[in-house]
Amino acid sequence: MIPFEYVRATDVADAVAAGGAPGAAYLAAGTNLLDLMKGGVSRPTRLVDITRLPGLAAVERRDDGSVRIGALVRNSDLAHDPAFARTYPAVAEALLSGASAQLRNAATAAGNVMQRTRCPYFTDTGSACNKREPGSGCDARGGETRLHAVLGWSEACIATHPSDFCVPLVALDAVVEIAGPAGTRSVPLDAFHRLPGDAPERETVLEPGELVTVLVLPPEAARFSGHSRYLKVRDRTSYAFAVVSAAASLRLDGGRIAEARLALGGVALKPWRAREAEAVLAGRAPDEAAFRAAADAALAGARPSGDNAFKIELARRLVVRAFQRAAAGTPERLPALPGSAFAPASEAAHV
């Protein structure tokens, strides 16, 4: 870790002023940032501590039915907020399927959105990585690519975004509120993370000094509480990043799908909203044929970036299963193993 200047911000204006300097980075819990700093991947020369900013650690429900998640709300506090978990069960399940209890107790909502890829070539400073060092090349190409992207990747970068939390959020049309030197603005989460293209070093739409302050779920996001699931296939059932994950939500009306939402995780450099699949499901009966058609639509544009063609079929099957579970209804209590595709016998699906 290289030396840095430590600045403790007292309010958002103070933070933004300090955070706009070249080499500055914002520090909340630091669970991802410190790890990257220890490895020499991130090398900020100034850390602006935002943990004391007032008003950003609360979950606020508005009369219009929207909910505002402060940037500093801890992952575990949000997942265990009973009213939040009841209304947005897939978000709670996604949060609890990620990391460990210790990390969830520290990590913040905005930090989760801002976390960096876990591509091993990004974190290994001995490897070429266009994201870490623009123009240096990509050693992931032709390397160990089992877990890399199958959607939206480019020749310059085949990494994935590791967040679970962002997957149901993007399905529910979450909006990111941003404070910056030029004032505040809002960006849909779907447009917040950038696909790599030829500039994978630009990971989000944030400009220098801009700070995520709030994540907003619009009123419509509450309509799916009865039929929402997050499923996540990983190499071990706990404390592992997704190989592939799916957030599936349904609004049913008279035995038909009035509205469907679908997003995929672990497949692209952003949480991947699958609007084509949602369109396929509108008006159909919630049966396996419909879910298969939706899965085909969601993965229609997928192509392997290496030895990972299996992820495309895996994602299709997971989409079907996530929608089947969502159609069966949100469980009364979150499962013991959140997000597990391998349910206990009582709700076992045919494999």
Partner 1 sequence: MSVDIVLTVNGTRRTIPIPDPRTTLLDLLREGLHLTGAKKGCDRGQCGACTVLVDGRRINSCLALAVSLDGAEVLTIEGLAEGDHLHPVQEAFIAHDGFQCGFCTPGQIMSAVGLIREAQAGNDPERVREAMSGNLCRCGAYAGITEAVLEAQGAMSQHTIRDSATRQGEAA
Residues that bind partner 1 (CB under 8 A): 1, 3-6, 8, 27, 29-31, 34-35, 38-39, 47, 49, 51, 76, 80, 99-103, 105-106, 238-239, 336-338
Q: Are 20 and 209 in contact (CB under 8 A)?
A: yes
Q: Which is nearer to partner 1, 41 or 187 (CB)?
A: 41
Cβ neighbours of residue 56 under 8 Å, at least 6 residues apart? Answer: 12, 50, 70, 71, 72, 73, 213, 214
CB of 231 to partner 1, least distance (A): 16
225 versus 238: smaller Cβ distance to partner 1: 238
Buried b vs exposed e over 240-277: b needs ≥16 C-beta within 10 Å? ebbbbbbbbbbbbeeeebebbbbbbbbbbbbbbbbeeb
Q: Torsion angle, CA of 100/212/193/62, rounded to 10 degrees?
A: 90
Number of other residues whose CB lies within 10 A of the CB of residue 220:
14
Q: Which is nearer to partner 1, 37 or 326 (CB)?
A: 37
Say how far apart CA 272 and CA 264 lie, in whole Å.
Answer: 5
Minimum CB separation of residue 95 from partner 1 in Å reads 12
Residue 38 or 185 having the CB closest to partner 1: 38
- Give the H or E element holding residue 85: helix 82-87
Nearest residue to 221 (alpha-carbon basis) of 315, 92, 77: 92
Please say which residue, 162 or 200, places its beta carbon nearer to partner 1. 162
- Residue 26 beta carbon to partner 1: minimum distance, rounded to whole angstroms: 12
In whole angstroms, give the CA distance from residue 128 to residue 41: 12
Task: In whole angstroms, give the CA distance from residue 8 to residue 65.
Answer: 34
CB of 52 to partner 1, least distance (A): 9
We find the least distance from the C-beta atom of residue 351 to partner 1, in angstroms, to be 20
Q: Tokens 């193993």 label which residue?
A: 337
Burial environment of residue 186 by CB neighbours within 10 A (0 to 12, 13 to 18, 19 or more):
exposed
Nearer to partner 1, 39 or 208 (CB): 39
Minimum CB distance to partner 1, residue 238 (Å): 4
Q: Which is nearer to partner 1, 27 or 298 (CB)?
A: 27
Minimum Å gap between C-beta 250 and partner 1 is 26
* CB 195, CB 305: distance < 8 Å: no
